[in-house]
Amino acid sequence: MRKHTILLIVLTIIAWRTTAQHTYYGKIEFERKVNMHAQMAEMEGNTWVEKMKAQMPKFNTTYFDMIFDTSHIMYKPGREVEASNMFKMFGGGPATDNVVLTDLHAATVKAAKAVFDQKFFVQDTMRVMDWKERDEIRTIANYKCRKAVGRICDTVYVVAFYTEDIPVSGGPEMFGGLPGMILELAIPRLHTTWVANKVEVTPPKETDFVISEKGKKVNQKELHDTIYDSFKKWGSMANRNVWWVVL
């Protein structure tokens, strides 16, 4: 009987230590970097493009905060940084004001998005992606992360590094569906990366998961079709606008 008691105590301690290593709630700061020169290189041949490149930094850097627990994830703009006059002219860059609220229990997502002068409020089920695991491992914000790759819009590859030490299936924008939190995300065709700078283990408040529902009510497909119809005359640029919108 005593041996069984000792064994139970040992197993309890092991389980407690294992659980203590995991993060179930907190706040993550993401640094998003868009390589503007690489994006503009796709439009080379225009004199005005070269002039614009000469007036702006190579990268447009913005910050986003993600507040999470095991039920909800709120992704929203974070601290402001001084932007170049050229970036300010274009509103600070695409998807700069996106706010995304994910309900993990209901498997639903709500998002407030501004597309040029239009405001949309998206309500839909969580995105389902066919992620493929890879062998690469790296450390991000002091968390061990594994690599996975997937696609959006059929042909746009997405590279993610997620950690099982934060067993909450989420990530920047509407990305998730992995057995842990995404701490780094890259979309090469948008020349854009999101990287977690830090993770603060602080309990969220109920008010952290409130989103404004202003804007035209749409689901993801309706938003996709609306934006594509608006920009289809732009050729390849139309596709890029759609990719940014459906993040």
Residue 76 and residue 99 in contact, taking contact as beta carbons nearer than 8 Å: yes
pLDDT of residue 14: 42
| Number of separate domains in the chain | 1
pLDDT for the residue numbered 92: 56
The CATH code of the domain that includes 56 is 2.50.20
- Residue 123: CB atoms within 10 A of its CB come to 13
Per-residue tokens: 241? 């606008």
User: What is the per-residue pLDDT across 156-175, written as a single tens digit (0 to 9) for each?
Assistant: 999 999 999 999 999 999 99
Q: How far is CA 81 from the centre of its chain?
A: 19
Residue 211 belongs to a domain = yes
User: Residue 46's pLDDT is what?
Assistant: 62
Given a cut of 50, the residues of the chain with pLDDT beneath it are: 5-20, 84, 86, 88-89, 91
SS3 31: strand
Residue 40 lies in a domain: yes
- Find, among 223, 247, 204, 246, the residue nearest to 65 by Cα: 204
> Does 133 fall in a domain?
yes
Position 7 in a domain = no
Give Dmax (Cα) for the chain: 85
**CA distance linking residue 218 with residue 225, whole number of Å:** 10
245 is a domain residue: no
pLDDT at position 4: 53
Q: What are the tens digits of pLDDT across the range 192-242? A: 999 999 999 999 999 999 999 999 999 999 998 988 888 776 666 778 888
Supply the pLDDT for residue 110: 98
Question: Could you count the other beta carbons within 10 Å of the beta carbon of residue 21?
Answer: 7
Question: What tokens were used for 5?
Answer: 């008691």
Q: In this structure, is residue 2 part of a structural domain?
A: no
Whole-number pLDDT of residue 9: 44
- What is the domain range of residue 213? 23-217
